[in-house]
Every structure is written in structure tokens, then in C-alpha cells.
Chain A
Amino acid sequence: MLNLDKMESNQRRLPVYLLLDTSGSMHGQPIEALRQGVKYLISSLKKEPQAIETAYLSVITFSSTAKQMVPLTDLQSFREPQLDANGTTALGEALKILERCLDTEVKKSTATQKGDYKPLVFILTDGVPTDSWEGPANVIKQKAGKLANIIAVGCGPDVDLNTLKKITEIVLHMESYQPDDFNQFFRWVSASVSMASQKFTADGEKPAQLPPPPPTIQIVP
């Protein structure tokens, strides 16, 4: 019955975007922890058949400029990007790229096409944006919740959580950023993606159900 391979698949995709801060302040241990984190995320999701079937992953990095390092890719074909820390924090530009990706990469529901599930977006930053970010943040905020589930995570003492609140309602604060904190963060991202690939919320307006974050990460009200 393997001639079923010839049948079209009607499996929907769950797009997952990681927006990662690779500015100079991430130099040293933090950037290494980020590399390990992405590696861990991929290997743990590859153990989940449901995630393999549905999750597609993209990485956008931002330092002095922003760049989509990996376009939306299925887990099997995903190759880890080269992450290096230097420069400033072009968060605004990263948000513009995200907006473009949500527009072009994510399949819309139409009368003839099964659309993608609502994308999951994780934004990780440790600083204050250095470019003009208010405009792009405003555009993204309009989409947050309705067109994408956007989770912003500020780490360290220098992050400006008010900035993040202008991007999305769901803001988390990771006080310390020791390697173990990143490990816990990526474990939570992995659990969130597998949960979202298994338990979507039926109401399109509501945010996805995510597991509670680890104790080291506080929800910013």
C-alpha cells in the first residue's frame, strides 16, 4: 500500500520564525549558547513525528543589518545558519523582513488552497534597537495575535521591555543569560512548537496554547 506515496498530501504547515539578536553585546558565551540552542531545537523537533510533518522553520538575524539566514524550510532540509555576534541592533529592519516573509512565505487560505496554520514567531533580543523600529513594530503589532502568534523574549538587564510591548502583547523576560538559561528557553520553544503542531486553537483570533515558560523566564504583564 505504499503506492499511497503517489497521493497528494493535504497536511498543513506550521511556519515558525526565529528572530535572533546577533549584535555585539551577544559576543562570547551568549552567541555560543544561541548556536547550541538552535542546534538543540532542530534535533529535539526531529524526534517528534508530528513536528516533522507540520513545522517549517526560518531564522532571521539582526545586528547592524538584518538578514533572513534560512528561508522557511522543513525540518529535514534545515541547515543551521552561521551565527556571529557583532555590530548594533537593527530590530526595525528585522521586523520589516518578518512582515515580508509573513506576506510571501506563509500560504494563505483561499478557495483553492489549504492555508498554513498561524505562524509562531519568537523574537529574542538583549538590547535596545538602534534603528528606527517604531513604524515596523506598529505594523507587526497589527498582525500579532490575528495573523501570527508573536512571542518576544528580552534577555539580560539592558533590554528595553517597553519596546517589545510595542511589538506584541506576549513579552517574556529572561533576567540572566547564562548558557543554562538559553537551554531552558530553547527547550520551551521546542515544547511550544510541538504543542502548536499538535494542539491548534480552533478560534483563529485567540493566541496559540503554549506550555508555561520555565521559572527563569518571567511573563511581563
Chain B
Amino acid sequence: MAKARKKSKKNLLEATLADGSTILYEPEILGEGSEGIVHFTEDKKKVVKFYKDSNDSKDPERRRRIENIVYKYNPTRNPESGDYWKSLYCWPTAVVVAPRLGVLVPTYPAHFFTKDGREKKLSWFISPRTRNLISKAERGDWLGHLKIAIMMARATRRLHSAGLAHSDLSYNNFLADPVIGTVTMIDLDSLVVPDVYPPNVAGTPGLIAPEVIMGKGAPSIRTDLHALAVLVYQTLLFRHPLRGPKINSTLSAEEDEQLSMGAKALFIEDPHDQSNRPQGTFTSFERLGPYLSELVTKSFIKYLHMPDNRPTAADWEQALIRTTDLIHPCSNDRCELKWFVYGTSCPGCGQKMAHHPVPLLQFYKEQNGKPGHFINERRQLVVWSGLYLYKWHVFDHIRAGENADKTPQGYFRYHEGQWYFFNLEMDAQLIEKGIQKTIPKNQSIPLQQGQQIRLSTERRGRIVYVQMIKEP
């Protein structure tokens, strides 16, 4: 920084970007991490991060690596989808070459700071102890946590589909806003391009894959998937999946930690081996519903020590999105989590399900090549008052994702003891006793046990079968 030319106005300093242009930044240090020192730019819309070890001896490939990350592999530069990804990543926008090597990174959006100025790292929200230190208005509810998990999986999936590994997915590298239900991935300048640039960090304790701790593998897309599984589990259940009471070494805490997260890693909810099960009562992972239970089982029971079989980020994203079809609001006004996966009672506050029956819609899709033949998809939609239907519900080939059409197609209401289904945009039909009757747009029908509704008569349109459930 000594070489930086001082500007008389406000003592700003000047930095040169890789393309030869210059920017002004504030001399005051805004923050300091293990790798670099951060300053605000003149307009405070970006920050400059200078790397500490300027001689590059530790990482001779750094410049080439960050140039690739900033320019070649940057999804936010995509002319069509770039804007969407800008909200999920704080992607570096330029390489700084003088006074020393660094990157230019967008400033975190305001909603990722608490009112009293703390960065909303995901860590705040996933442990009951630190969550309590966030004001109630900023904590959000369980639906917000589910959305956070979806966004984490989506951001990870997009990286992986480009062949990039994050190498240090952690509670510190996601900023989260559970009120809106979104995240942004930060510290992207240490990304790993497999087989091209070796990783320069092992990861964050608690999230490093067992095989990396054991020295049998380097950070990669596969090890990201272990970190993602831990992050999703912890975001939804507020506890670490492997951190239990089992003691694996009495030599030192460090060795015990290494074994507990590595060679001897054991799921706290393992059904066959209860030796790592924490004392006290807690909500079983099975209460997350069938889609997530399956992935948790694969991640932490079946394949904990088999990295090749870990569920992918796309698997997590789809299972999480489908789980939003199973949630139900808690009828207790004072419940803090407000939402839960449909079941006998709310895990957040213990409140029993409301007495009136809840409609459950079973999904059927038309069999390939057999018009008129519908098969059970083993997918359900739990109805609550105010629930919207989208195209990914109406058609079996449309996936919910960043490109999905988010226009509501219909919705449900509970009114004076009766459930109603309102059609907004669908070409829908009610099938009763073999007779098909159109449900006109902007009109409703009362829901009853045993009804079949064809959500669209167009190709790939689903049929839903209505069940009225008194007790889950």
C-alpha cells in the first residue's frame, strides 16, 4: 500500500485493475481475514480485497486462478441469467493488480446486515444459542430456513454444473436472511477448478469431509456435497449431524475432534449405533418428510464414508423444493417457527394439529404413450389456507427452479368450515363419477374427499386425488 498514490481529496488511495482502469478506495481498513485486508471503494458499492502475502510464494497460481474466476467462470456475467445469480453470489467483478494483487467485490446488500450492523452469517441462525442473540424481527421462521436451504443448494448446484468446487462451503461463507428466505455466497475468490487449480484451504471444522480429514482426499465437488448436507441438516434442525457425546480420543480435544469428524465420524441419529446420540429430547430428522429423510439417510448413515455416493446439490434442491409441498402453518400464534412438515404436532412448540380436516392431494401423471392412463407419482401436496398452485404442480415435466414461471395458477382457502379450490389460470376439470366438468377460471369449487381434479387438460397435465385427513 506504500506505493499507492495519495489523492488529496478525502485521502483516498488509487488502485489499478487488470484492464488498466483505476478506482479510488478508502485508506481505513474495513476488515481483515486470514487471507486479505478489505477496504471500501469511494462509492462504498464495492470493496477491494488485497491479499496479504503479496509475494505470491504461497500461491504462485493465484493471479491466473482469480482471473479465471472473475472472467471465465463467472455465472453473473451471463447476459440472460446473470442478474438472477448476482443475488445468490457476491462474485468478484475485477482483478486488482496495483498497488498489489487483489479483487474487487460487490458490497453485501443491506438486508444481510442486522440493524445493529452485524453481518448475517448463516452461523447466527443455525444454533439456538446464537440465534437468540438476533432480534426477533430478524430471525424469520422455519419456512425462511427451508428457503435458505433451497438457495444454498441452488447456488452450490450452479457452481458444480460449471465444474467448479467451492472447497470451503461453510456457515461463514453464506450470508442469510431468514425473513426473506435467501442467501448469498461470499468469499468466492478461493474457488477450486478441478484438476486445474489445487485448493488452498482444507475447509471449516465441522464441514470438512471425513476423507479430507483422514488425508485421503482433497477438497472437491464431492467434499462440497458433504458440507452442503451438513449445512442443510443444521439449517433445518439447529444442530450438527456428527457432533455428539461420543469420545474417540482422550489424548487431546484436537485429536478427538479429528477422529469424530473423520475416521470415526458417526451420525448422532444413527439407528444402528446409538453411541453418539445426544442426551435430551430432539426432533428426529424423519420429521423433515420423506424426500429429505431419504437424502439425510444417504448422507449420514449409508454413505457417510462413501464419498462417491453422496446426494448431489441438484438432489438436495429438488428434495427441498418438494418438501415445501408438505409444510403446514402452526395454529399457535406465538409459535416461533410458524411452519412445520405436516404431522401430528408442531415440533417448534408442541401444538397439536388443528381439528378441522386437512386436504391432502395425491399427484398422478399420465403414463408415457398411454393417453388416459395415470400413475401415482408418490408425491403429495398438503393444503393450507392461502396456498398457491404453480405450473410445476400443474404439469409433471416442469421443475421448480430459478427459471420457473412463478405466476400463481390457482389457490386454496378455508372458509366457514369448508375448503375451497380457486382456479386462476388453469384449464382444469373436476372428474366426478366419470363425468368431467370444467372449472372455469376465477371460479371455485368446494373440496371433498374422493374428488379427482385434472389440473390441466393439456399434455403432461396432472390429476390430483383429494383426501381429507383428520389425523396425520
Contact = CB atoms under 8 A, between A and B. Distances in A.
Contact of B245 (A8, A50, A198): A8
B127 A10 contact: no
A187 B254 contact: no
A76 interface: yes
B283 A4 contact: yes
Nearest to A8: B279
B137 interface: no
Interface in A90-146: 109-118
A35 B290 CA distance: 55
A4 B237 contact: yes
Interface stretch (B82-90, B154-162, B347-355, B454-462): B347-355
Contacts, number: 129
Contacts of B112: none
Interface in A55-92: 76
B247 A49 contact: no
A159 interface: no
Contacts of B205: 198-200
Contacts of B279: 7-8
A13 to B, nearest CB: 9
A199 B34 CA distance: 10
A204 B33 CA distance: 24
Contacts of A202: 213, 254-255, 257-258
Nearest to B258: A202
Contacts of A187: 32
Given A3-B347, A191-B32, A49 B245 contact: no
Contact of B349 (A2, A50, A204): A2
A2 B347 CA distance: 7
Given A12-B257, A115-B253, A3 B204 contact: no
Given A6-B280, A117-B254, A53 B142 contact: no
B130 A53 contact: yes
Interface string B196-238: 0000000011000000010000000000000000000000111
A168 B283 CA distance: 47
B204 A10 contact: no
Interface in A1-21: 1-12
A49 B171 contact: yes
Contact of B133 (A4, A76, A118, A198): A76
Contacts of B133: 49, 52, 76
Query: Which size bracket describes the interface of B in this complex?
Result: 35 or more
A6 B253 CA distance: 24
A2 B251 CA distance: 34
A118 B350 CA distance: 40
Given A198-B204, A200-B257, A7 B281 contact: yes
Contact of A49 (B130, B244, B251, B283): B130
Q: Is the interface of A mostly helix, strand, loop or mixed?
A: loop
Given A2-B337, A7-B281, A109 B247 contact: yes
Contacts of B34: 191, 195, 199, 211
A179 to B, nearest CB: 16
A3 B282 contact: yes
A204 B128 contact: no
A2 B340 CA distance: 11
Nearest to A117: B253
Given A198-B205, A202-B258, A4 B252 contact: no
A212 interface: yes
B204 A109 contact: no
B247 A112 contact: yes
Contacts of B33: 191
A1 B340 contact: yes
Nearest to A187: B32
Contacts of B52: 212
Nearest to B236: A1
A7 B128 CA distance: 10
Contact of A118 (B118, B142, B172, B252): B252
Most buried by A among B52, B119, B130, B252: B252
B166 interface: no
Given A52-B129, A109-B249, A6 B282 contact: yes
Contacts of B251: 109, 204
Interface in B64-105: none
B460 to A, nearest CB: 36
B124 interface: yes
B123 interface: yes
B187 interface: no
B256 interface: yes
Contacts of B391: none
Contacts of A49: 121, 123-124, 127, 130, 133, 171
Contacts of B213: 202
Contact of B252 (A1, A115, A199): A115
A214 B171 CA distance: 27
A111 B130 contact: no
Contact of B172 (A50, A110, A113, A212): A50
B130 to A, nearest CB: 4
B281 A3 contact: yes
A6 B212 CA distance: 32
Interface string A178-216: 000000000100010001001111111000000110000
Interface string B150-190: 00000000000000000000011000000000000000000
B250 interface: yes
A6 B348 CA distance: 12
Contacts of B432: none
Contacts of B172: 50, 198
A97 to B, nearest CB: 23
17 contacts: A1-B348, A5-B128, A7-B279, A7-B281, A8-B279, A11-B127, A110-B247, A114-B256, A118-B252, A118-B253, A118-B254, A191-B33, A198-B205, A202-B258, A204-B251, A211-B32, A212-B52
Given A9-B129, A199-B204, 5 more contacts: A8-B279, A109-B247, A114-B253, A199-B34, A200-B254
Interface of A: 1-12, 47, 49-50, 52-53, 76, 109-118, 187, 191, 195, 198-204, 211-212
6 closest pairs, A vs B, by CB?
A: A204-B252, A49-B123, A7-B280, A115-B253, A49-B130, A202-B258
